[in-house]
A and B are shown apart, each in its own frame.
Chain A
């Protein structure tokens, strides 16, 4: 009848428990987790560790750095900046007017091969100060539309280049496609045309999965304002590799995009004639245009950065390891010296 139940309320033992036999012991069960005694290793960052870690890094990094630097140095790269040179001298004070005008945009450039270039030689165009990563630009595309003919009407994200003034959907819609680069290059050596392979310049996954085989350009570049290239409306998007390359937007305002491949070796000191059509307007925003011919190594294009970074980090680590060793010898601190404890230092 009488209850001393309230003692249980505290969650702790009350008189109820102390009176009875210890049937329900509240002794916590032992487990390594609850007693916080899980097996563990306790690394102590001793000077030896520090020095050997630095040494290890330098041992690993310096060879990698050397290898990638050599690889990068093996790459032969020809860069030709042409956006000013390709405008007739007389018209250079209003470049925008020239580029928008009806004049013939053909421009001949000659390139000298500095070193032997093994095929394949990759042809890039490089744009400067072109913000392919601008928010308004990046989102102005419709991946659905690019892939699926049924999603032709999916243009809502493409503003402001979604429909023609007559409300017909543009395929491919959006600012990216609209502003596609349209300079063209053709190469010849000793008056002999160098074949330019424009197949396989895009990532395979893009061709196969992102751009539909049954999607054809429609109403493209029909507006008053022409942004860039026209597309052949009889070729499906999956085969329009220039578009595919262009649509893979760059991360930085300075970027290169693959234009084609020359699949013959070029000898040192050979002269290459380039006939280019300078259509693309970078003059409005003072963008530079460059033509780049480059071979590749196992690491890719000419890229000293990785090699230098590896080398300098490796070197720095070596220096640090040495410095630490010297300090260790000059001013050693005995490990676990109790006199370093704060309460022993200031009595």
Chain B
């Protein structure tokens, strides 16, 4: 939804429907107020009226240009780059007489660069256009002339009435008018937007239910006043004005573009909003590139200053052969010895044009090309990142920020759909102190693997009952076998508790195979499904009854339907952390079933039976450590008297108007005591494949991972355990707003006081954590740190006064679990998510990664990279990112080096020419140096350079830290390069000039300026190209071809060029040169001497101060490039430190901190509230409420 963009308010006037205009304004107190730009008015079913408003069409356009604007806009974009506009300026300057070089020197490279850039832009834009077309041309039924006409999406206009069929996508944000369901309800799946697969209910206003058929719908003419398009998914304010009646609209009536219709034959809606766009990002390296360029500017400026000052001092009349004193029109002030200031000032311009190649003009375009190929050829085509199940390859949506992938320090990850599959599966349980379920979670597998055991293959061999929500495998409980277990009664209670104590709604046919459970939380559905599998099939719910088909209860194989009367439901909420149902058996037995967090249940157990308590707790700890979500189950038999007296209080509390929640809680406390423990359940929140090992690898790479989740603290902690983000070995800092103290203040109800209190609490907490963290950091081998903070606290912690502390604390933690975060550190951040709720995060981070594949496209549309699975991050970051970073850095520094070297030779020459700014090289040498003679090798290098192979990159994730530290692009690195380029330029310049000052052939002839400069240029081209070869860690055929080719190209060029340019000094020089022995001798000497320094440096550096990658290279120097071998290999080497910590983690723990309670259930309050006849705010996701309102049975909606 992010980025819906609407039109501005209408200009008004001159319309055929002028009489309508006033209604579009807000009239207050008798005077007309102009319509606020924050609102829009839509006339439904009335295209003419909407014409005035000039709403945007429904076609989306992600293109940057069209045919007309391409050239001006594209050029403008190009000239926004410092280097390009600089060269434009230089080109203009070189047309004036101050220039020592002809305009071609600068115009040629500039136009080549612009040409290449524009071609690339055009190509990318064309691809975007194709994409847009595909979307814009999908068809939709629109009401036209009382009939449904099929038109493409792009023709859709605001105000149109459309009909959307089942499973189709909504083409725009719609106002829901009517549905094929008679009660004006439809189901939507918002997976595209927020990644959640459970269905959401939308309900039309009663007033509009009738507009189902085309005849009726064409009579509809309402007027919608609503907010402007925005990126908020869950809020909406607006009014529908229909026949002078104003009806308030809520999110319940809004169908968002991109969602799809489910379980409903069709709906009718009217279009309200449309169109979107996506912002683009610029990489920080590119910003740093600008810094490099600015520093080159400074060098350039200094060089110019020195040169022109020298010129002003040097200039004199004595050199009569220059005729400087001649007073005529020809003598520009540039060489007027009487006006030294002019000499100085104009000299600066002269020298700027002369030294202009110091700014690497082709840098941007080369880097762009490299990145473009990297993303289109390498990332998009990587088989390691191809997900076969969903048939999804990786997709790089921008090529701007590839190298940022190599520097990511913080990952912000969405939980649902990204780390987890949003699939809850009943996995294990403990009944009466006996643990059931033989499954092994990924975490346990990882642990076992590290211990050297291989248990990966044995699972799921015997009974393969797999169903959504059920992944349990233990013959002792299945098919009535529980009757033979030590505590069959306990089992019975356990199953009944599962089957009764919930708020699930069955749908569809009442058979175990076909039934569909609609639950507000997948946890509950999983529990009920489990009960079904155990033979307690819950198949029907009425507001007061629950029907369960029980098998094997009286004796094996016997099946009977039992109806339980639900007397009371004690709701679940985050303070209670438990849920109870009081039911009456058909035989009159009154039982309270309760499920909830172990902490709250244990407080309320009857005394005695400590064995059961302890074993159950042990089991829960085991489950928790395995990353499972646990729930404690308990029951209590009630006597009728006791119940009756309690129920009176309950009804009283239920109908009280003030502090109802609190009173209900209090009443519940009265009955939820002296419970009998049955056991516990363990649900696996199914992780995406390979998540734990991926996270582990990433954290070894020095990446800090923040998981952002909308869940409660317990769930968050649990999932963090599950994906190995934190373990018991870590020091956890928990900052939660749900403490007793805060709750107490909360209950007082004073908002100001509350705010102050929480802030103080957070502050003290933070301070405490911070100090502690510092202590841990100072000790040598302290544990890793983890921070857990909940949204409310974070809100306060982000307060400017506390933000700094939070930041420094969180930076010292290696993992942070939090519910909400706004902006990270100064470092490179990456956000990964799959739904539209992550869009903001994805766009805010430096690098946005969307999960593509099964679910939505919103996140993908907003992202920079799309991958099918979280685990592909390893490849994306450690392999592609690292290489990209390495390559781009080296390419940039190489550009820096080669241009500096080139310009410096020119600079040294300036001193010998009386500072006149005479060019050393021919115009064409200078213009083609960057774009021809040194261009291709560096691009090949930028594409193919690898320091270590892909499998080694993943085996040694620590190598990634070099990117985080930005080790390849520091000023120090540039400084060393600058030093060597000064050295090389001196060698090239002086050696050539000194050696050529005598006769160079046996025939005694002398070389002229152009001979010498050609000689020097030849040496320079060879040196610079060989220097590139020395940088390579990988040398392929293409390196040889490009380096050899570039040098060859130079020779071909000079042989042709010096042959044809008879009117220039350059004529024939190369033939003269090659006819001398001197040429070859110098050609051997100069590059070798020039490169000697680099070679020595590299030798010493590698030997004494090796980089990590160099060691890794050496370790694996004898191995072939294990491409296919490394396909599945992810390193599992343990450092001694890790091994020790793991050993500790494996020890039986006396009092585990973590038992894995987690339960999500947003829909309770309103459901039960309405059951008791009390109005509660209607919520969109209220599935259960929807069910209870269904008056008469309908035919199944699923077809």
- Which A positions have Cβ atoms within 8 angstroms of B? 1-15, 17-18, 22, 25-31, 33-47, 50, 53, 57, 61, 64, 68, 120, 122, 124, 130-138, 143-144, 147, 159-162, 175, 178-179, 200-203, 205-206, 209-210, 225, 227-228, 245, 248-258, 261, 281, 284-286, 294, 296-303, 305-306, 309-310, 313, 316-317, 320, 324, 327, 333, 335-338, 340-344, 347
Please indicate the chain A residues that have their CB under 8 angstroms from the CB of B1037 in the complex. 38-39
Partner of A256, one of B132, B950, B998: B998
Residues of B within 8 A of A14 (CB): 857
Would you give 10 A-B contacts (Cβ < 8 Å), ordered by A? Answer: A12-B392, A13-B390, A40-B1034, A42-B1113, A47-B1099, A299-B1078, A327-B1103, A336-B1112, A341-B1112, A347-B780
Chain A contacts for B882, CB-based, 8 A: none
Question: Is B111 an interface position by the 8 A CB rule?
Answer: no
Contacts of A301 in B (CB 8 A): 998-1000, 1004
> Nearest 8 A-B pairs (CB), nearest first?
A5-B138, A336-B1114, A301-B999, A122-B1004, A12-B852, A336-B1115, A10-B857, A248-B1008
CA distance A138 to B462 in the complex (A): 93
Asked whether any CB of chain A lies closer than 8 Å to the CB of B454, the reply is no
A256–B1006 Cα distance when bound, in Å, is 7
Question: Bound state CA distance, A41 and B1037, in angstroms?
Answer: 9
Contact partners of B1063 in chain A: CB under 8 A: 143-144, 147
Output the nearest chain B residue to A260 by Cβ-Cβ distance.
Answer: B1004
CB distance from B546 to the nearest CB of A (A): 35
Report the Cα distance A294→B1005, complex, angstroms.
11
- Chain B interface size, as a band, is 35 or more
B568 at the interface (CB under 8 A from A): no
In the complex, the answer to whether B1004 meets A294 with C-beta atoms within 8 Å is yes
Q: Is B860 an interface residue (CB 8 A)?
A: yes
Q: Are A5 and B135 in contact (CB under 8 A)?
A: yes
Contact present for A284 and B320 (CB under 8 Å): yes
Q: How far is the CB of B353 from chain A (nearest CB, A)?
A: 12
Bound-complex Cα distance A316 to B335 (A): 46
The reply to whether the CB of B1007 lies closer than 8 angstroms to some CB of chain A is yes
Decide: A41 near B1035, CB < 8 A? Known: A6-B135, A29-B381: yes
Task: Verify if B139 is at the interface (C-beta below 8 Å from A).
Answer: yes
Neighbouring B residues of A337 by C-beta, 8 Å:
1111, 1114
Which stretch (B325-333, B484-492, B559-567, B1186-1194) binds chain A? B325-333
Is B997 part of the contact surface with A, judged by Cβ < 8 Å?
Answer: yes
B319 interfacial contact with A, CB 8 Å: yes
In the complex, are the beta carbons of B1009 and A250 less than 8 A apart? yes
A320 to B1103, CA, bound (A): 14
CA distance A224 to B1038 in the complex (A): 64
Q: Give the CA-CA distance A189 to B797 in the complex, in Å.
A: 102
Q: Can you name 19 extra interface pairs (CB under 8 A) apart from A12-B866, A28-B380, A131-B916?
A: A1-B139, A7-B169, A8-B135, A10-B857, A12-B393, A33-B377, A35-B383, A35-B1123, A41-B1036, A42-B1121, A44-B1117, A131-B914, A134-B913, A160-B330, A205-B1071, A256-B997, A284-B320, A305-B994, A340-B1106
Contact present for B391 and A13 (CB under 8 Å): yes
| A253 touching B912 in the complex, CB below 8 Å, given contacts A12-B853, A135-B100, A296-B1001 | yes
With both beta carbons as reference points, the residue of chain A lying nearest to B956 in the complex is identified as: A341
The answer, yes or no, to whether B750 is at the interface (CB within 8 Å) is: no
Q: Are A134 and B1077 in contact (CB under 8 A)?
A: no
State the CA gap A1–B1108 with chains docked (Å). Answer: 59
Contact A250 B1006 (CB under 8 A): yes
Contact flags B981-1000 to A (C-beta < 8 A → 1, else 0): 00000000001011111111
A-binding residues in B (CB < 8 A): 100, 131-132, 134-135, 137-141, 150, 164-169, 258, 260, 316, 318-324, 326, 328, 330-331, 335, 350, 377-378, 380-383, 386, 388, 390-393, 395, 397, 780-781, 852-854, 857, 860-861, 866, 868, 883, 912-914, 916-919, 944, 946, 950, 956, 958, 961, 991, 993-1009, 1011-1013, 1032-1038, 1062-1065, 1067-1068, 1071-1072, 1076-1078, 1081-1082, 1084-1085, 1088-1089, 1092, 1095-1096, 1098-1099, 1102-1104, 1106, 1108, 1110-1117, 1121, 1123, 1135, 1137
- A3 and B391 contact, CB distance less than 8 A: no
Complex Cα spacing A201 to B1005, Å: 7
Asked if A135 contacts B917 (CB within 8 A), the reply is yes
Name the residue on A nearest B1016 (C-beta): A251
From A202, A299, A317, contact of B1077 by CB (8 A): A299
Count chain B CB atoms within 10 A of each CB in A3, A15, A178, A303 and give the residue with the most.
A3
> Closest Cβ of chain B: how far from A177's Cβ, in Å?
11
CB contacts (< 8 Å) of A254 on chain B: these are 997
B386's partner among A27, A64, A201 (CB-CB below 8 A) is A27
A10 adjacent to B866 (CB under 8 Å): yes
* Complex contact A17–B1114 (CB within 8 A): no
Q: Which residue of A lies closest to B967 (CB)?
A: A342
Cβ 8 A contact of B321, one of A179, A252, A261: A179
B322 in contact with A313 (CB, 8 Å): no
Taking a contact as CB atoms under 8 Å apart, the answer to whether B326 and A310 are in contact is no
- CB-based nearest A residue for B1029: A43
B1111 to A341, Cβ gap below 8 A? yes
Closest to B1034 in A: A40
Chain A residues, Cβ within 8 Å of B258: 6
**Which of B168, B999, B1038, B1065 lies in contact with A122, CB distance below 8 A?**
B999
Chain A residues positioned under 8 Å from B997 (CB to CB): 252, 254-256, 303
* Known A-B contacts A42-B1033, A303-B995; A159 and B330 likewise in contact (beta carbons under 8 Å): yes
Question: Do A4 and B169 contact each other (CB < 8 Å), given the known contacts A45-B1099, A47-B1103, A296-B1003?
Answer: yes
Say whether, besides A12-B395, A41-B1035, A340-B1111, A309 and B1006 are in contact (CB < 8 Å): no
Q: How far is the CA of A139 from the CA of B783 in the complex (A)?
A: 74
A161 to B1013, CA, bound (A): 26
Min CB gap A14→B, angstroms: 7
A27 and B391 contact, Cβ closer than 8 Å, known pairs A227-B321, A248-B1008, A301-B1000? yes
A9 B134 Cβ-Cβ under 8 A: yes
Provide the residues of chain B in CB contact with A294, threshold 8 Å.
999, 1004
From B916, B1003, B1035, B1089, A40 is in contact (CB under 8 Å) with B1035
Q: Is the CB of B1082 within 8 A of A137?
A: no
Kindly provide the distance from the CB of A153 to the nearest chain B CB, expressed in whole angstroms. Answer: 15
Contact B168 A3 (CB under 8 A): yes
Complex CA–CA separation, A145 to B395 (angstroms): 62
Q: How far is the CB of B234 from chain A (nearest CB, A)?
A: 22
A2 touches B381 (CB 8 A): no
Q: Would you call B328 and A13 a contact (CB within 8 A)? A: no
CA distance A213 to B384 in the complex (A): 72
Is the pair A5, B137 in contact by a Cβ cutoff of 8 Å?
Answer: yes
Nearest CB in chain A to that of B377: its residue: A34
Contact A134 B914 (CB under 8 A): yes
Question: What residue of chain B has the Cβ atom nearest to residue A145's Cβ?
Answer: B1063
Closest Cβ of chain A to B776, distance in Å, is: 15
- Return B592 CB to nearest CB of chain A, in Å: 44
Residue of A nearest to B1121 (CB): A37
Q: Which residue of the partner chain A has the closest CB to B376?
A: A34
Q: Which residues of A contact B395 (CB under 8 A)?
A: 10-12
Known: A12-B866, A210-B1062. A133 touches B1009 (CB 8 A): yes
B1111 x A138 contact (CB < 8 A)? no
Does A147 contact B381, Cβ atoms closer than 8 Å?
no
Chain B min CB distance to A209 (Å): 6
- Assembly CA distance A77 to B131 (angstroms): 78
Q: Which of B335, B914, B1011, B1062 interacts with A143 by CB under 8 Å? A: B1062
Cβ distance B204 to chain A, nearest Cβ, rounded Å = 20
B residues in contact with A3, CB < 8 Å = 138-140, 168-169
Cross-chain contact B918 with A133 (CB below 8 angstroms) = yes
- On chain A, the residues within 8 Å of B383 by CB distance are 27-28, 30, 35
- Nearest-CB distance from A118 to chain B (Å)? 11
A249 B321 Cβ-Cβ under 8 A: no
Residues in chain B near residue A138, CB distance under 8 A: 918, 1009, 1065
Chain A residues near B1065 (CB, 8 Å)? 138, 143, 249
Whole-angstrom distance between the alpha carbons of A313 and B1086 in the complex?
Answer: 10
Q: Measured between alpha carbons, how far is A267 from B132 in the docked complex, in Å?
A: 91
